[in-house]
Amino acid sequence: MNAIVDSTAATHLELVVKQIRMEANGVNSYEFVSADGSNLPPFTAGAHIDVHVGGGVIRQYSLCNSPSERHRYMIAVLKDPNGRGGSAAVHETIKVGDRVRVSVPRNNFELHPGSTKVVLLAGGIGVTPMKSMAHQLEAQNIEYQMYYCAKGPEYAAFQAELEGLAKSGSVSFHFDGGDPGNKLDISSILKNPKGECDLYYCGPGGFMQACKEASEHWPSGSVHFEHFKAPVKKETEECPIVGGFIAEIASTGEKLEVGPSESLAEALNNAGYSVETSCQSGLCGTCKVRYLKGVVDHQDFILDDSERPDFLTCCVSRAAGGTLLLDL
Ligand code: FES
């Protein structure tokens, strides 16, 4: 039996909060189940769900449990006092027994099907997709090494559960005490990529940058990552192109003017072309649209080089000049 899907859209579910647990300092896990105990739509490691927090706030959280579990979705949320308020709202308003609207799982961070060996690097709350990946790798008996960095043991969620894994791989913890001089030596770990090995990483901005720099010599297509927060651009990096542009709809020939302070997604929705959005930050891929002509100023953190010649995320990306012809 499968969970009843929201009648207005087959993309959302109304689930019950069965359990909330404190997993580490500032980190709670939330277990969502169907009201009648039926199975939930399946997911694969690396998938996330949109959680409708209330007041129109929607946030994306990676599923952290084993994809073999069909009876529940587990997320873990770090309360970020400097965030946009979504994580604080989750901590402060969601209670056991509540009914919460969530999307069906989507995956922009899949394990590569051909991997025979995997390195997982997790920084802080970036452990959530990595934990799900470790479960899946265990189930598939694929060799992996997981490194989990946190300030200290009291900040590391799911320690006992992760230590209990590691049948087909190894899980090691690195606690730096908050001292930049004690950071995990990621460069050494990634120094010699072994053939057929894939790397996955997720964590806060500095951690992501360190992983990116340390893996630049890895073979193309072997490095995979997911940001959970839009990275802060360095002053030396290019600013997004400002100014308006024209977006043409291929199916109708209609030309839309996108204003300088308007996103392409907003312009499309205002003109009656329904484009679903979620993160509004170029992180989740929900608003991905194919384009047929034009030069795009890609401002997302989700599309890879193989996708960018054909797709754009219309919540943040714009024309780099001229007209964009959209496959709508
Ligand atoms: S809404 Fe998430 S990438 Fe556009």
- In the chain, what are the domain boundaries? 12-107, 117-225, 245-326
Lowest mean per-residue pLDDT among 34-43, 108-117, 145-154, 196-205: 108-117
**Atom of ligand 1 minimally distant from the CA of 282:** 3
CB of 53 closer than 6 A to ligand 1? no
At 16, is the pLDDT very low, low, confident or very high (cuts 50, 70, 90)? very high
Phi, psi of 94, rounded to the nearest 5 degrees: -80, 125
**Atom of ligand 1 minimally distant from the CA of 284:** 2
pLDDT given for residue 9 in this prediction: 47
CB of 279 closer than 6 A to ligand 1? yes
Question: What is the arithmetic mean of pLDDT over 275-289?
Answer: 88
CB of 103 closer than 6 A to ligand 1? no
How far does the centroid of ligand 1 lie from the alpha carbon of residue 317, in Å?
10
CB of 283 closer than 6 A to ligand 1? yes
Residue 11 has pLDDT above 80, yes or no: yes
Where is pLDDT greater, at 1 or 48? Answer: 48
pLDDT given for residue 239 in this prediction: 53
Strands 47-54 and 106-107: antiparallel
Where is pLDDT greater, at 74 or 9? Answer: 74
At 309, is the pLDDT very low, low, confident or very high (cuts 50, 70, 90)? very high
**Rounded CA separation 199/260 (Å):** 38
CB of 303 closer than 6 A to ligand 1? no
CA nearest ligand 1 atom 3, residue: 282
At 225, is the pLDDT very low, low, confident or very high (cuts 50, 70, 90)? very high
Residue 130 has pLDDT above 50, yes or no: yes
CA distances from 43 to 216, 241, 245, 297, 324 (A): 30, 37, 38, 32, 34
CATH number of 245-326: 3.10.20.30
Where is pLDDT greater, at 108 or 176? Answer: 176
pLDDT given for residue 271 in this prediction: 94
How far does the centroid of ligand 1 lie from the alpha carbon of residue 304, in Å?
14
Task: Ligand 1 pocket test: pick from 106, 276, 286 the residue with the most ligand atoms within 8 Å of its Cβ.
Answer: 286
For the chain, give the percent of residues with pLDDT over 90: 74
How far does the centroid of ligand 1 lie from the alpha carbon of residue 172, in Å?
33
CB of 284 closer than 6 A to ligand 1? yes
CB of 278 closer than 6 A to ligand 1? yes
CATH number of 117-225: 3.40.50.80
User: What is the DSSP annotation of 141-207?
Assistant: T-EEEEEEEESSGGG-TTHHHHHH--SSEEEEEEE-TT-GGG---HHHHTSSPPTTEEEEEE-SHHH
**Atom of ligand 1 minimally distant from the CA of 280:** 1
For the stretch 187-203, pLDDT in tens is: 999 999 877 899 999 99
Question: pLDDT averaged over the chain?
Answer: 91
**Atom of ligand 1 minimally distant from the CA of 316:** 4
Q: Model's pTM, two decimal places? A: 0.84
CA distances from 24 to 57, 153, 173, 327 (A): 25, 8, 14, 46
12-107 CATH, one of 3.40.50.1820, 2.40.30.10, 2.170.120.12, 3.30.1330.10 = 2.40.30.10
At 241, is the pLDDT very low, low, confident or very high (cuts 50, 70, 90)? low
Residue 240 has pLDDT above 70, yes or no: no
